[in-house]
Amino acid sequence: MNSPPNHPWPTSKIAPFLDYLITECGLAPNTIAAYKRDLTRWGQFCRQTQITDPNKLTPPLLQKYAIFLSQQKLATPTIARHLVSLKMFLRYHLLVGLTQHDVCSVMETPKTWQRLPSVLSEKRTVELIEAVDPENPLRLRNRALLELLYATGLRASEAANLHLRDLNSQIGYIRCLGKGQKERVIPIHKTALKVLQEYLEVLRPQLVKEVTCTNLFLSRTGRALNRIEIWRIVKKAARTAGIAGRVTPHTLRHCFGSHLLQGGADLRVLQEMLGHADVTTTQIYTHVDQKHLRQVHKKYHPRA
């Protein structure tokens, strides 16, 4: 990922920074791609304002960049992400000795509203999982995938990267690599295991074209199922089930977290199963649970 020679700053330093994120920080490919997109816009701003020396950056210039982002009609969370990417980029400069001071220490990112995740009821979640076309030759795979997403709270990318060796059907757990290549082990209930075993015994041998492909979920052509295809499977199941609104694999992840918490699961245990680095990320499901409690109170209290 080396940069072509004679490129001005900051273009000349973006590729080494991305290499650092891959080799030292172990960030996921999707995260690396997001950093690259964000810094490409920073490079555009630097060309327009003729900034060529990171040591001459000042807080007013960074504030001007924030205004530049808002003029691009970007949403507040997107602007916040761009500024975080820039902070990481400039702190990398400080780390490797390209700058002498941390100009980002006084830069604030815009505050964003904390959105509650979209969660289906337990009944609707089951309806989504069971909404698999019986005439679809890939129905066993699709059902196994939906069951696993709800049973474990995996992200779409994590499910796409699962291999046969990651599933222990005898003990009943799945092993996955999450963000930052952090490994976690998640139990799987018997219902999901039964559907997974049927897929593995009946359909997967028909799909596999090369024995070297060890991915758990395969496409029609025998290659590994990717996260975009997983999104499509979930969205099609939602349409079949008649579920309105935006339903994605992350919706099933939210259902997993919210339903476990409603059932009395410990927050720290849920944090570990979801692979959250900080428990405050997991705590959003307590807000969802409180919303559920308010709905129950309003529905059943005689004076509500």
The residue with tokens 């807080």 is: 59
Q: Do 98 and 134 lie in a common domain?
A: no
The residue with tokens 């024995």 is: 211
Measure the CA–CA gap between 70 and 76, rounded to whole angstroms: 8
Q: Do 75 and 153 lie in a common domain?
A: no
Q: Is residue 280 part of a domain?
A: no
Does the active-site annotation cover 253?
yes
Which residue among 155, 204, 254, 259 is the active-site one?
155
Residue-range definition of the domain harbouring residue 24:
11-106
Which residue among 41, 124, 227, 276 is the active-site one?
276
Q: Is residue 111 part of a domain?
A: no
Q: Is residue 279 part of a domain?
A: no
Q: Do 129 and 182 lie in a common domain?
A: yes
Q: Is residue 263 part of a domain?
A: no
Choosing from 207, 228, 250, the residue where a domain stops is 250
CATH code of 48's domain: 1.10.150.130
Choosing from 106, 132, 154, the residue where a domain stops is 106
Q: Which two tokens stand for residue 201?
A: 């015994």
Q: Is residue 42 part of a domain?
A: yes
Does the active-site annotation cover 173?
no
Residue 254: name the closest of 281, 227, 279 by CA.
281
Question: Beta partners for 177?
Answer: 183
Residue 108 in 3-state DSSP?
A: coil
Which residue among 175, 179, 223, 227 is the active-site one?
179
CATH code of 154's domain: 1.10.443.10
Whether this model's pTM surpasses 0.85: no
Q: Is residue 129 part of a domain?
A: yes
Does the active-site annotation cover 179?
yes
Choosing from 250, 269, 286, the residue where a domain stops is 250
Does the active-site annotation cover 236?
no
Q: Do 245 and 137 lie in a common domain?
A: yes
Q: Do 131 and 93 lie in a common domain?
A: no
Does the active-site annotation cover 175?
no
Q: pLDDT in tens for each of the 304 residues of the chain?
A: 444 445 789 999 999 999 999 888 888 888 899 999 999 999 999 999 999 999 989 989 998 999 999 999 888 889 999 999 999 999 999 999 999 888 887 777 666 556 667 899 999 999 999 998 888 999 999 999 999 999 999 999 999 999 999 999 999 999 998 887 789 999 999 999 999 999 999 999 999 988 889 999 999 999 999 999 999 999 999 999 999 889 999 999 999 999 999 888 999 999 999 999 888 888 888 877 676 667 766 777 777 6
Q: Which two tokens stand for residue 34?
A: 């997001």
Which residue among 143, 253, 254, 259 is the active-site one?
253
Q: Is residue 117 part of a domain?
A: no
Q: Do 22 and 78 lie in a common domain?
A: yes
Does the active-site annotation cover 250?
yes
Q: Is residue 41 part of a domain?
A: yes
Number of domains in the chain: 2
Q: Do 142 and 55 lie in a common domain?
A: no
